[in-house]
Amino acid sequence: MAFGWIDEQAELRGRAGLLRTLRPRPADSPLLDLASNDYLGLTRHPEVTEGAARAARTWGGGATGSRLVTGTTELHAELERELADFCGFEAALVFSSGYAANLAAVTALAPHGSLVVSDAGNHASLIDGCRLARGTTQVVAHAEPDAVRKALAGHEGTAIAVSDTVFSVDGDAAPLTALAEACREYGAGLIVDDAHGLGVLGDGGRGAPHAAGITGAGDVVATVTLSKSLGSQGGAVLGPARVVDHLVNAARTFIFDTGLAPAAAGAALSALRLLRREPERAARARAVAGELHARLTAAGLEAVRPDAAVVSVRAPSPEDAVNWAARCRAAGLAVGCFRPPSVPDGISRLRLTARADLTGQQIERAVRLIGETRP
């Protein structure tokens, strides 16, 4: 029977406590949200939603085609210019998602015969980019610049290192300055995914590469998402102009994908301009993360110290993590739940988002509910 093997896989996932289900949410959820990636609380900001609506009224509901045909509007170009300027890079190229941006950057910059050195804790989109690239991938120990050096020392020819700037599971930051130095010793390029750094780290939220002082370098490329701090949808690659020009000509997820919807571009541009005017939002997100961590550990929970806005709390098992998250939801609190195979270390945990718009009372309530529902 066609696809009969799917039933067996579903049964195995069920036994292991790894079943995933969709849960449509209403427009006005009563839950206290510590599960989304809306780090700056901008998704529903009036300026952001009006930016989306205005763009839709002006340009229509969709981009109408690929970026190289009819899918590039003046709005896309404006967003690219302002993103590059804000983050400190020479140029930017907008994609329909952060996932597509990562696939583009890795596959287009790792030709046949090249080496890709990938951090063991990288996001699935970077991992998939490595799998699709024509170069050879070597996975190295998490956040270890010396491991990158060792891998590069054993290769002659084109090479890149690939890393998240802030890892999505525990919220720990990569040693970007040391990684850049390691790459330069061997003439390698560095690609960093700043999905969880943009809007949170760096001067006024300019991102982790800005904080590390590596923006604008000819050997550094950053990818970002527009769906987290900027409260919209889409992604972008930032880097030297010649790299962006190469992606326009070589990146399949750019050439063959429909352009980002104008409404998403308009929302992201409005959010970016708002962040420029209100840079204190970035510091507030970090402060909320620190307060969450302090209160959770004071309550006797095993929480990982955050480097940005992600706070994780360890759970005894995948089943405990799922049940814990469900009990939180029943009590009025939405939290993320990470378990294998999404976590590279096999440790299940609750994942909390420290949003800039959370109040002290909401933080206190969240910590109380997590403590009361613990396994």
Q: Count of alpha carbons within 13 Å of 117, Cβ hemisphere only?
A: 28
CATH of domain 46-277: 3.40.640.10
Output the pLDDT for position 347: 84
- Residue 137: beta bridge partners? 116
Q: What is the DSSP string of 261-289?
A: PHHHHHHHHHHHHHHHH-THHHHHHHHHH
Residues of the chain with pLDDT under 50: none
Predicted local confidence at residue 101, as pLDDT: 98
Domain boundaries, the chain: 23-44+279-372, 46-277
For domain 23-44+279-372, the CATH superfamily is Aspartate Aminotransferase, domain 1 (3.90.1150.10)
Q: What is the distance between the alpha carbons of residues 49 and 65, in angstroms, rounded to a whole number?
A: 24
Give the model's pLDDT for residue 1.
80
Beta-bridge partner residues of 238? 92, 222
How does strand 333-338 pair with strand 32-34?
parallel
Distance separating alpha carbons of residues 294 and 317, to the nearest angstrom: 23
For residue 184, what are the contacts with CB-CB under 8 A and spacing of at least 6?
A: 219
- Residue 4: predicted pLDDT: 87
308 phi/psi in degrees, rounded to 5:
-140, -120
> pTM for this one?
0.95
Sole residue written with tokens 């800005």: 210
| CA 230 to mean position of chain CA atoms | 12
Give the chain's end-to-end CA distance (angstroms, integer).
41
Q: How many CB atoms lie within 10 A of CB 150?
A: 15
- For residue 337, give the amino acid letter: C
